Structure 1
Amino acid sequence: MRGRPRGSDPRRPTEEGSWLAPLAALAVGALCLLFLFAARSTPAPANQSAPDINAERLRERVDEEALFAVHWQQMTGNLCSDPVLQAEGIAADCRTGTITFGDDLFDEDEATQLTEEGIRKLHYAIDGLLRNLRAHPDVWERIESIELRGHADPRARRDPYVTNMRVSQQRPLAIMFYLISDWALSERDRDDLERLMILSAASYSRPPESCPDRNNECYSFWRRVEITPRLRGAQIVDEHRRFNQELSRIAGEPS
C-alpha cells in the first residue's frame, strides 16, 4: 500500500467523526443534570438507607449512551493498531476506521482491477474491519453500511468530471464483485457484506486533505478507494431525542 503523502496522519480529526462531538456534549450535559437532580432530591433522614431510584436510573441511562462513544473510539483505535493489518502495511484511520486502497494496489494495464498484492490486502482489511466492528455489539448494531467510495484525479481530454466519475465508479464496483465471490470469506462475512456494502463515487471532487494540490506528485494519492464503516445517522439522532425525553421524564418523577 502506498505510503502516506506529506502531512498525512490517520489520527487527524475528520468530518466523518464529527457526530461524536454532540454525543459527548449530550453525555456531559446529562451528567450535570444528574448531579443537580441528586443534590436537589436528597432523601429525608428516615429514608437514607433507601436507594435513590430516579438518580440510579438516570445514571444507568447516561452510562449506556456514554459507553457507545467509548466503544466506537475503542473500535477505531483497535482497528488502527491491529497487528495483522500493521504487518500487512494496511493503515486504518484512527478516528473514522477508513481503510484506503491507493493507486499502487490496482493493475497498471487494467486500472479497475486489483493486483495480487491488492487482493491479499483486501482480504486482510475486510477481515480486520468486520472483526473489530463485531467486538462491540452496540457498535455493530448501529452500523448502517460499509461504504466503498471511489476517487479519481481531474485529468481527462474532455468533460473531466463525467469521465472521471465513470472511473471512480468502476474501482469500488470491482472490489465489491470480488468480495461477494471471495471463496476465502466465511459465509457469515459474505452475508454481512452483501447486507452492508454500498458504492459511491466522487470523481475528483474530494481530493485527499493531505495532498490536495493539482500536480503529478499528488494525483496518485487522489486515485483511491476508501472503505468506511457508516453509522446510522438518522437512528442516532432519534436515539438522542428519545434519550433527552427519558432524562426529562426521570428527572421529573417524584423520588
Structure 2
Amino acid sequence: MTQTAHRPDAAPAQADGALLFGRYAFPPNERGYCGPDRAQELLERVSEGASGGALAEVARGFEGAWPYLEHIGQCLGRAPLDAAVVTTYWLGGPALARCGGAAFARSLEERFRRRLSREEFERLEDGVRNGGTPHHSFHVFGVYPWVGLLRGGMTDAPLLVLDRCRIRWGRVVSIDGETAVVRSRHLEWDGRRLHLGPRTLDTARLRRGGHALSRPVEPGDWVSLHWDWVCDRLTPQEMSWLVQSTSIELEAVSSCRYSAPATVLS
C-alpha cells in the first residue's frame, strides 16, 4: 500500500485511552446496540477532546467491551482505559498473543459459562483453541450469533451486521462536506466461511453537526471505520495490526465446529 506523507499530528500518540475508546464505541452506541443511553454526550465529548471521569464512566457502561479491556489490562499490567489496552482491543497488535490462550479461555468462562448451553460455550472454547484473542472482532464473529445464522441459511442481514460491527479499514478517495468516499473491503460468505471481498467504494460519515470522531483526514489517508463512521486515521503500524488481527479472528471462528450462540450477548 502507498503511504501518505507524514503530518505533524500523524503519530500514534493517543495519550487518552478514554477518548480513543469513545471514537470506536460511539457508532454502535448511537444505534442502541451497546453501552449506556448517552450517545450524544459521547460524540460531543470525543469531538471536543473532553475526557476525564465522565467519559470514563460512559466507557465502563459498555458491558460487552469492558471485560475485554479489563482482561487485556491485567495481561499488560495496565489500567483498562490505558491507551495501549484500548488500542489492542480495537486494532490489535503484538500484545494480543500474550492475552489469548488459557487466560482468555478462563475470562470467557467467568463471563459466559452460566449463560450458555454446553455446546454454545464449547464453541467459544473452540475459537480460543483455534487462535482467537480478546480482540473486538472475536466478540463480533465468535460471541454474537450472526455466523451461526449464516450457517443456517440466513445471509443478507447477518452478513451486513458482521461487516459493519467489526472494525474495518479503508482509504479515503474524496471528501464532500461531512462525508467521505472510502475504498474498502467488505465481508463475503461462501456458504462455509467468511472472507474479505474485493475493494469497493463506500460512503462514510466524518462529522455530524460539526462533531467528528476522527482526527482530521485527507484523500489518500487510511482510516478505520465502525458501522458508517470514520473513527480515526491509521498509521501504517496500526493498519498492519488491524489487518492481521482481523485475519486471525476470521480464521479462528471459521474453523469452529459449532454455530455461534443462539442469543445476542451484551
TM-score (norm 2): 0.28
Structure whose residues are more often strand by fraction: 2
Q: Higher relative CO (CA 8 A, sep ≥ 6), structure 1 or 2?
A: 1
TM-score (norm 1): 0.29
Structure whose residues are more often helix by fraction: 1
